[in-house]
A and B are shown apart, each in its own frame.
Chain A
Amino acid sequence: MLLEIENLTKVFRGGVRANDEIDLSIAAGEVFGLLGHNGAGKTTLVSQVVGLLRPTAGSIRIDGRDMVADPGRARRLCSFQAQSQVPIDGLTPRQAIELLGQLRGAPRSDVRRRRALLVDALELGEWLDVDAARLSGGVKRLVAFAMAAVAPGRLVMLDEPTNDVDPVRRRLLWQQVRSLADEGAAVLLVTHNVVEAERSVDRLAILDAGRVIAEGTPAELKAGLGAELRLELVIDPRSTELPVSPFGRSVVPVGNRLMVGVPTGAAGPAVAWAESLQRDGAVEEFTLGPATLEDVYVALVGGQEARSAEMEARLDASAA
């Protein structure tokens, strides 16, 4: 494994335990997703890897070398796209990308060739020589990604790389993330965009309150949920009771929707049940599809951001 993190714990002054005994490992050529809510401890973890924060306990090794003892080496081995915007106002994307490549020690000709490739691949050409102060947030994020990818280290860490990026260029960006891994880098991808992560990562870990609560491939995590299908019910806001699932699987409220786990082979009964709920006016509409990583994520983390107190109360009332 290229990156090995063992028992990593970070406690900030005041006692906030941002990372709690985290174990992770990432191989070269692998895209590893780190998922979690805001405040789950994702950025704290990458900040320790790149040497901006010192762990309270535990170890971080790249290629078997201790990075806690040698943060300078960690910065040389890691390319990092921070969550915050990069300080490039006043520079053009061309200047910013090439400067970063040269600062990473790559020869100027290689940097230019690779910059041209990334600018083409991310369709940034029209902004190549525009002052970054005049660029949108999404284009700046793409430039920041190109800065991290122009002369990539053995480990590339991307903290929310798709924030503010338009859907078309997001796809282009994910292709480039995959290319980085195909060329031999280990990629650590921090995101709370579960849907995109499902399509892009080889393995992932879900972080909640500083702890890893699940780890595996997307397929392994979905299998662990025990439901191969997912019935999404949009609850009528006027209904006072929530439907009780006859399938004995997970039922998770998200906003005004109810995610019901359905076993394979029960698609017919599930549709019939949903249609009856719709006829009774309890449900406005429904969708049946394969279970997604988002279902796993919401089931594990609890949908804390999306779950409304009202839905919780109604769910409790229905269960009682």
Chain B
Amino acid sequence: MQALRSYRLLVTWQALRKKSYLPLMMAVQTLFSLGIVLGYPLLFPTLDRTTIYLIATGAPAISMLSVGLVALPQTVGEAKVEGSLAYMRSLPVPRLAYLVADLTVWLAIVVPGVVLGVLVGAWRFGLDMQVSPLVIPAVLMVALTATCVGYALASTLPYMLTVIITQAIVVLVFMFSPLTFLPDKLPGWLETIHRLLPIQAMGEVTRGTLAPNVFPLPAGAFLTLAVWCVLGFAVTYAAMTRRA
């Protein structure tokens, strides 16, 4: 009961802290999704139907990754440097409540842009997306995994290293991850690496639930995500509770 009360109060606190730039971040996320959906066809005017589906369903995953693995670690890293993370850790609340409250607010930032991006993509290209009900757990799972892994990065690494790694992640996600294309386009060694990383699984569950009539939904993808999600959460929780 106390944990729930703490969670509610901490969500209020974190939402109020982010409220001034929350609408802006949501708008940027939305534009981000739209940019991918509307921008790729400008670069490649003669796209086949499958590629258009890949772009429209891959954009949400890219959008979620950009928040979870880039914006979030940088924000948490700054909080670590300025001492505000230590202050929050000194409060008489369960650390789990703080962590879950913060993740809740980040999820709230991510999800609207994802939904709008998908709707506009489907409308722009006249796509027949027979969205599966599994899309809700899929999107939550992708967003949660991205934020947990991002949190783990920021919690355990020095701030400058976090910034550098997040920049590298931007390049990896945009250019060399099978989100808007299929993994067989990658060189063999990178394809192998992506079988272990969570990014490919994120793309698979997103497109497999947004357009199940076009793409299969590999059962292993959810499992891969679950493993990464639990791993990220465990590392973050350990860092939050650790006394140096």
Chain A residues with a Cβ under 8 A of chain B: 12, 47, 50-54, 71-72, 75-76, 80, 82-91, 95, 99-100, 102-105, 131, 133, 153
Which one of B10, B83, B243 contacts A53 once the chains associate, using CB atoms below 8 Å?
B243
Q: A52-B90, A91-B16 are in contact. List 5 more A-B contacts (CB 8 A).
A: A51-B90, A75-B91, A82-B83, A87-B17, A105-B92
Judge whether B244 and A87 touch: CB under 8 Å: no
Cβ-closest chain A residue relative to B97: A103
Judge whether A104 and B87 touch: CB under 8 Å: no
Segment 15-68 of B: residues with Cβ below 8 Å from A: 16-20
Chain A positions within 8 Å of B244 at CB level: 12, 53-54
B88 within 8 A of A: yes
- Smallest Cβ distance from B147 to chain A, in angstroms? 18
Known: A71-B243, A90-B17, A99-B13. A50 touches B90 (CB 8 A): yes
- The 19 listed contacts between A and B (C-beta, < 8 Å) are A47-B86, A52-B89, A53-B243, A75-B90, A82-B83, A82-B86, A83-B83, A84-B86, A85-B83, A89-B17, A89-B20, A90-B17, A90-B19, A90-B20, A91-B16, A99-B13, A100-B91, A103-B6, A103-B93
Chain B positions within 8 Å of A87 at CB level: 17, 79, 82, 84, 87-88
Chain B positions within 8 Å of A71 at CB level: 243
Rounded to whole angstroms, the CA-CA distance of A166 and B191 in the bound complex is 62
Known: A52-B243, A84-B84. A103 touches B17 (CB 8 A): no
- Smallest Cβ distance from B25 to chain A, in angstroms? 13
- Smallest Cβ distance from B66 to chain A, in angstroms? 22
Which one of B20, B86, B87, B92 contacts A103 once the chains associate, using CB atoms below 8 Å?
B92
Judge whether A54 and B243 touch: CB under 8 Å: yes
B160 within 8 A of A: no
Main secondary structure, interface of B, reads: helix
Rounded to whole angstroms, the CA-CA distance of A87 and B90 in the bound complex is 12
Which one of B16, B20, B87, B90 contacts A95 once the chains associate, using CB atoms below 8 Å?
B16
Chain A positions within 8 Å of B2 at CB level: 105
Chain B 143-186 against A: per-residue CB contact (8 Å), 1 yes, 0 no? 00000000000000000000000000000000000000000000
- Smallest Cβ distance from B100 to chain A, in angstroms? 15
Judge whether B12 and A99 touch: CB under 8 Å: yes
Judge whether A84 and B87 touch: CB under 8 Å: yes
Rounded to whole angstroms, the CA-CA distance of A11 and B6 in the bound complex is 33
Chain A positions within 8 Å of B9 at CB level: 99, 102-103
Cβ-closest chain B residue relative to A153: B92
Chain A positions within 8 Å of B88 at CB level: 87
Judge whether B84 and A85 touch: CB under 8 Å: yes
Chain B positions within 8 Å of A103 at CB level: 6, 9-10, 91-93
Chain B positions within 8 Å of A83 at CB level: 83
Chain A positions within 8 Å of B87 at CB level: 80, 82, 84, 86-87
Judge whether A91 and B243 touch: CB under 8 Å: no
Rounded to whole angstroms, the CA-CA distance of A91 and B15 in the bound complex is 9
Judge whether A88 and B92 touch: CB under 8 Å: no
Known: A99-B12, A105-B2. A133 touches B84 (CB 8 A): no
- Smallest Cβ distance from A88 to chain B, in angstroms? 7
Judge whether A84 and B243 touch: CB under 8 Å: no
Rounded to whole angstroms, the CA-CA distance of A186 and B92 in the bound complex is 18
Judge whether A75 and B17 touch: CB under 8 Å: no
Which one of B16, B82, B89, B91 contacts A90 once the chains associate, using CB atoms below 8 Å?
B16
Residue of A83, A87, A95 ringed by the most chain B CB atoms within 10 A: A87
